[in-house]
């Protein structure tokens, strides 16, 4: 009996062991030995470009303010030494006329931009559109007299975890390079790179210089624009992130239409994440969805019937895990018509139709403060719905906000930041940009300024 028992175990092990080996086999033909990604790469490579950006900056040396020092070293006038800052990235040709999409951080602040094709030819390029919210920018080849190779957009919503992808770019400036991997995850929302947190994660090697390059599927279609890596060493550690093609498509469409800013649908409601505590209060099994915190009067959300405390669970049949997922889904919807949004309200499901329209930009009155003051060089605007949407402010916010800075603006050196709301200057309420312009022309001994930053009020005192 014991011998039969041992024999049975051995037979069972012998039968089970080949279950792993049966999945492995030698190539059965010479054709299988020649399987390669080369045909895809050869078709895609001509549409991927290298992007070179340069910016001239002055090295401020306080010693050069001294006329004796300048005369001693023979430096004329008050001329400061200049230095050329360069950045390197990649891009993708998306229109035969020479339209290139890349990352905004590759060309941010650049005075000169060049692109280099896979065949080593170089072209001057101009910046058509920049969108810091998605970290995307669109360039156009100057004096383009030929039809360039392009990539077609894939529907990035059809990607699945495990799909094979190829990353093409110019890592570390070594030249155009192809790496391959799989889609490691989808809808990554806690990356912290852009306003729209909804990234494709891949283990295809992505390194500095790959930014703006192509992530393509095995049919050679563009599924994403490589934009960032997670790394403790500065090099690839198998965690790279790409902006989905459906978001890239929206930015490119705005550039093709001649717009200087990306036009997106406006919801007019502030959303918040569902915490485990909130989920328990609402009687939810899992903390998913986007909770409506408030709704701006007259906004598309208000006209559709959305109310505070509604829980958004789906849009156009696609489930919503958190506010970032909704922001992405809503932002990639085409303008015009409406989107069907499913809500949980009072224990029942309600479906509403939200109009897809841009935020109004009335009474923006954007100006640049020129007077010698702590605000000099700051570009400020009245908070319209469009400005609130652009800067991720509460839809009900009013006042004057910093929207940008001129190069070398004293306001930036003082410490002001984009998105700062100026409430008061020297006890004078600032309600319009004209109020701030008038206040900046005064010459007080002290500047007492009240600012709201990220919802927190800050009182600042600066010397005149």
Please give the positions annotated as active site: 105, 135, 211
Q: How far is CA 311 from CA 279, 288, 294, 424, in A?
A: 10, 9, 12, 37
* Residues 186 and 200: beta-carbon distance below 8 Å: yes
Q: How far apart are alpha carbons 375 and 438 in whole angstroms?
A: 11
Query: ∠169-127-360 over CA atoms, to 5°?
Result: 115
Quick one: residue 454, left, alpha or beta (phi over 0 = left, psi -120 to 50 = alpha)?
A: left
Consecutive H or E run containing 304? helix 300-304
Instruction: Tell me whether strands 446-453 and 428-429 are parallel, antiparallel or unpaired.
Output: unpaired
Nearest to 458 by CA among 405, 427, 428, 420: 420
Q: How far apart are alpha carbons 114 and 142 in whole angstroms?
A: 10
C-alpha torsion angle, residues 11, 16, 20, 25 (rounded to 10): 50
* Residues 51 and 90: beta-carbon distance below 8 Å: yes
* Residues 148 and 125: beta-carbon distance below 8 Å: no
Question: Directed axis angle between helix 323-331 and helix 245-256, to 10°?
Answer: 40
Nearest to 370 by CA among 449, 436, 421, 450: 436
Residue indicated by tokens 């810091």: 132
Sign for the CA dihedral angle at 257, 260, 262, 265 comes to: negative
Q: How far apart are alpha carbons 201 and 183 in whole angstroms?
A: 6
Write down the H helix ranges in 267-404.
276-282, 300-304, 323-331, 385-390
Q: How far apart are alpha carbons 381 and 173 in whole angstroms?
A: 40
Give the largest Cα separation in the chain, rounded: 108
Consecutive H or E run containing 255? helix 245-256
Give 84's strand partners: 56
């Amino acid at each position: 009996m014991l011998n039969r028992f041992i024999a049975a175990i051995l037979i069972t092990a012998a039968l089970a062991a080949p279950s792993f080996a049966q999945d492995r086999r030698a190539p059965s033909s010479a054709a299988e030995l020649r399987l390669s990604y080369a045909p895809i790469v050869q078709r895609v490579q001509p549409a991927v470009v290298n992007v070179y950006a340069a910016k001239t900056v002055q090295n401020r040396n306080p010693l050069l303010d001294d006329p004796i020092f300048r005369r001693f070293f023979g430096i004329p006038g008050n001329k400061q030494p200049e230095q050329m800052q360069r950045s390197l990235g990649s891009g993708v040709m998306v229109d035969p006329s020479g339209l290139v999409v890349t990352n905004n951080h590759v060309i941010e602040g650049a005075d000169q931009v060049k692109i280099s094709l896979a065949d080593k030819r170089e072209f001057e390029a101009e910046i058509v559109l920049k969108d810091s919210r998605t970290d995307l920018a669109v360039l156009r080849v100057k004096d383009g007299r030929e039809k360039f190779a392009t990539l077609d957009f894939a529907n990035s919503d059809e990607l699945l975890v495990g799909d094979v992808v190829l990353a093409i770019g110019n890592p570390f400036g070594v030249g155009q390079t192809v790496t391959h991997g799989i889609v490691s995850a989808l809808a990554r929302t806690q990356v912290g790179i852009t306003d729209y947190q909804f990234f494709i994660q891949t283990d295809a090697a992505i390194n500095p210089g790959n930014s703006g390059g192509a992530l393509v599927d095995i049919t050679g279609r563009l599924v994403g624009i490589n934009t960032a890596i997670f790394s403790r060493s500065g090099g690839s550690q198998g965690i790279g992130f790409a902006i989905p093609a459906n978001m890239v498509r929206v930015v490119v469409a705005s550039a093709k239409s001649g717009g200087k800013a990306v036009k997106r649908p406006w919801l007019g409601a502030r959303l918040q994440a569902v915490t485990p505590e909130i989920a328990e209060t609402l009687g939810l099994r899992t903390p998913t969805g986007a909770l409506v915190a408030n709704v701006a009067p007259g906004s598309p959300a208000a006209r559709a019937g959305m109310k505070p405390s509604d829980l958004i669970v789906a849009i156009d049949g696609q489930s919503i895990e958190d506010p970032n997922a909704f922001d992405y889904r809503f932002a990639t919807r085409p303008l015009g018509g409406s989107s069907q949004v499913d809500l949980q309200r009072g224990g029942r499901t309600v479906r509403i139709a939200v109009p897809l329209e841009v935020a109004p930009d009335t009474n923006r009155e954007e100006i640049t403060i020129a007077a010698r003051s702590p605000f000099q060089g700051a570009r400020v605007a009245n908070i319209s719905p469009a400005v609130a949407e652009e800067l991720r402010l509460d839809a009900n916010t009013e006042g004057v906000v910093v929207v940008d800075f001129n190069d070398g603006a004293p306001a930036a050196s003082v410490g002001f930041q984009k998105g700062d709301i100026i409430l008061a200057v020297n006890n004078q309420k600032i309600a319009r940009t004209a109020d701030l312009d008038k206040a900046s022309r005064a010459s007080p001994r002290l500047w007492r300024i009240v600012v709201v930053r990220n919802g927190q009020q800050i009182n600042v005192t600066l010397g005149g």
